[in-house]
Chain A
Amino acid sequence: MNNILSFDQVCVEASSAKDAEFPILDSISLNLQQGESLGIVGGSGSGKSTLLRVAMGILARGLSLASGTVVTAGVDLLKVGPEMRQKMYGNKIALVPQSIGEALSPHRTIEGHFRDTLGSAASIEKMVDALVDSGLEGSKFLHRFPHQVSGGERQRILIALALVRSPELLLLDEPTSALDRDVAAEVLATISRLQVKRRFALICVSHDFEVVRRTCGQLAVMNNGRIVERGPTDHVLTKPTDSYTKALLDSIPKPNHRIRESHSIGSHSVISANKISVIRGTKNRVLDSVDFKVRQGEVVGVIGQSGSGKSTLLSVICGLVSPSSGSICNEDGFDLSIPLAKRPSNITSAIQLVFQNPDDSLNPKRTVQQSLSRYSGATVSQLIQVLESVELTSTFLSRYPSEMSGGEKQRVAIARALLTQPKILLLDEVTSALDVNIQAAVFQMLAKVQQSTKMAMVIVSHDLELVASFADRLVVLKDGLATEHGSAQIR
């Protein structure tokens, strides 16, 4: 028997009584042997990241091990000192962290990172081999700095760094959450190829069933700190028994299934943009002669990979960025290329934008009530009404952003945009930071809002299925060019 990781009845609790609604980890038992791979799926707050940390012997501040034992590669890491843990990292266990943007030191070349990891055993040959193994042209990358490589390449470099000392256990935390669809698929293929070849044990934590399906033989679904269902991946995905697993699987957007039904679309455009271009620096065309129209009551989906200019298009429409050339105007012919500060307030409030990251779009020092009423001047009853329209209750009025989940924060951000009664609502990847089941709920809520207000919406996302099931019409952006217009129903 070659047990790499074993959890035996592990319970982790928050030390302060205030947070102790339920244990963070509740009687977790699992065994992982050489060459096995386990995917862990669950919503945010389900305890999956804590489980990964505990496997590395780390308990975050304010958490304590209530009972149980964790043995990783033959060592009880929670009991040994930091020096011993440090010896194990890289050598026996390796982690590829979620935020790949921050995982590499910006002032160090890729070679430097390998030298840090390998120490005296470093050799160019080893580094190149490791990079080639993860599907990169090794020698090309050694002298580059982290900002000179793309997101997918960065993820591959991190995997190469994690595997260069041949650990027995590889931990992946949301390996593809920062990557585009196509790139993510390639990275996942590389991971499963390496796992078959090198026979390390693998734990992959994700909120996305697809990621786990492509990399892991076993699947565990977590909810409220417990493993609610576990088994071979295909079996769990096709014949789920637990109600939470079923709910999660049901909320994955399916092709040819519409979240929102189309309604009457007006004939006149609320936004019409003509050949707008945005140039950054000297010649970097972020948008290149894009024609874009949104009619009254219409929902337009804009899709494209990261860097294709989707967010810039929204920024131009709402006035945060002025176009370098071209014209853009609203239904009354008002020129929308003039900067935000010079627009009359009724024009400003008629176009509202909801940002991607709800953590960043709410002032952390203000309660929901303060955030909502500050600029709109809405009364408490109006606030409660708008909160109800985004399916929140009046109890949220007194909460601070830190006291809400991601989905709740995003609903508040949408409510704030709705308060000014905009004619057009711009949604920038509003659900990409949320769990799948919450994503679906937010979109259903948006569909209801759209139906009752008949406002126009522009929805930007890299998730084709999600947008196709919601929008009336699709616009595809690629390298700043609008390359395809089509009806969403066709897809």
Chain B
Amino acid sequence: MKFFTKDKTPRGKILAYCVLVFHGAIALLAPVLHLTPTDEQDATTMLQGISFDHWLGTDGLGRDVFSRVLHGGRPSLVIALVATAIAAMIGVSLGSFAALAGGWIDEALSRLIDFLLAVPTLILLLLIASFFGQDPVILSLTLGLMYAPPIARVSRASTQILLARDFVRVARLQGGNGLTILVNEILPNIWQVVFNEIAMQFTWIILAFSSLSFLGLGVTPPTPEWGLMIAEARSYMTINPVSVIAPICMLASLVLAVQALVDHE
């Protein structure tokens, strides 16, 4: 039916962009907005509902939920961006190298990818976090490694398709070696597909990191983080539901916006 649709940006795409810009803006601007400090406790104003002083009420320690929600995306975003970059580097190079090399190298790398996919991510993360503590560098590295296999698979498959194209054969006939062919002929043509996969993995990494925080192994309190906030507010959810709903909405809107954009590509 595509013959009959007019060329215009779908509304969902515009909305998704707006949500992403909103998230980016608050993550960048939260520290300069002169909000109530996120760790300022006040025993007299515990578990209050929505008010003019506290737009989203207060949590069990009397801290301002609004301020904490705005700051709460920063650790997830930073870790997720770093981890995604690592996953992309590992995934794309591993996948395309496997396809280019072929033969037993391809076979061995593919089995390695299968093995990594079979490891339960959250359990491994829990193990790593309990061994090495909540070190953001190690967490990013682990997340990056664990979320590289799907990217590697997509890169490998798309590279294999391109290897059968004539312009890649011509490059070989003209004396191009593996690396130059990869950089010049293959990457520009697989990038769109691979980038979508990377964006998808970005959302999974955010969710994984928030899950870790929820379990108490992501960030250290009192740092505000959505997963941790949900965990903390869980016990008094019936008294101030906003303190749970607000971080959930933020997390969900970020993940949905990225996925919607990927869908519209």
Contact = CB atoms under 8 A, between A and B. Distances in A.
Interface of A: 58-62, 82, 318-320, 340-341, 345, 348-349, 351-353, 355, 357, 360-366, 370-371, 374-376, 413, 416-417, 420
Given A61-B2, A360-B167, A363-B167, A375 B188 contact: no
24 contacts: A59-B3, A61-B2, A61-B3, A61-B7, A62-B7, A82-B4, A320-B169, A340-B172, A345-B175, A348-B173, A351-B173, A352-B174, A353-B169, A360-B166, A363-B167, A363-B185, A363-B188, A364-B189, A374-B176, A374-B180, A375-B174, A413-B170, A416-B174, A420-B174
Chain B interface, >50% SS class: helix
B169 A366 contact: no
Contacts of A416: 170, 174
A62 to B, nearest CB: 7
Contacts of B7: 61-62
A348 B188 contact: no
Contact of B173 (A59, A60, A62, A320): A320
B27 interface: no
B173 A352 contact: yes
Given A60-B3, A62-B7, A361-B166, A374 B171 contact: yes
B3 A58 contact: yes
Contacts of B11: none
Given A360-B165, A363-B188, A365-B189, A375 B3 contact: no
Nearest to B170: A361
B184 interface: yes
A61 B3 CA distance: 5
B184 A355 contact: no
B21 to A, nearest CB: 28
A363 B189 contact: yes
Contacts of B173: 318-320, 340, 348, 351-353
B165 A375 contact: no
Give 7 nearest A-B pairs by CB, closest first. Answer: A375-B174, A361-B166, A365-B188, A355-B166, A360-B166, A345-B175, A363-B167
A51 to B, nearest CB: 16
Contact of B167 (A60, A349, A361, A420): A361
B170 A355 contact: yes
From B165, B166, B171, B189, name the one whose CB has the most chain A CB atoms within 10 angstroms: B166
Interface string B173-211: 111110010001100110000000000000000000000
B3 A349 contact: no
A416 B169 CA distance: 13
B171 A375 contact: yes
A164 B244 CA distance: 64
B172 to A, nearest CB: 6
Given A363-B188, A375-B175, A82 B1 contact: yes
Contact of A376 (B2, B169, B174): B174
Interface in B144-172: 165-167, 169-172
Nearest to B168: A363
Nearest to A349: B175
Contacts of B167: 360-363, 371
Nearest to B5: A61
A363 B174 CA distance: 14
Contacts of A362: 167
A353 B170 contact: yes
From A58, A60, A62, A355, name the one whose CB has the most chain B CB atoms within 10 angstroms: A355
Contacts of B185: 363
Interface in B213-239: none
B177 to A, nearest CB: 8
Contacts of A349: 174-175
A375 B176 contact: yes
Contacts of A361: 166-167, 170
A366 B170 contact: no
Contacts of B184: 363, 366, 370, 374
A417 B170 CA distance: 9
Given A61-B7, A82-B1, A348-B175, 16 more contacts: A59-B3, A60-B3, A62-B7, A320-B169, A320-B172, A351-B173, A353-B173, A355-B170, A361-B170, A363-B167, A374-B176, A374-B184, A375-B171, A375-B174, A375-B175, A416-B170
A200 B171 CA distance: 50
A413 B165 CA distance: 14
A243 to B, nearest CB: 35
Nearest to A428: B166
Contacts of A319: 173
A391 to B, nearest CB: 21
Interface string B60-88: 00000000000000000000000000000
A357 B177 CA distance: 23
Interface string B32-57: 00000000000000000000000000
Contacts of B169: 320, 353, 355
B10 to A, nearest CB: 15
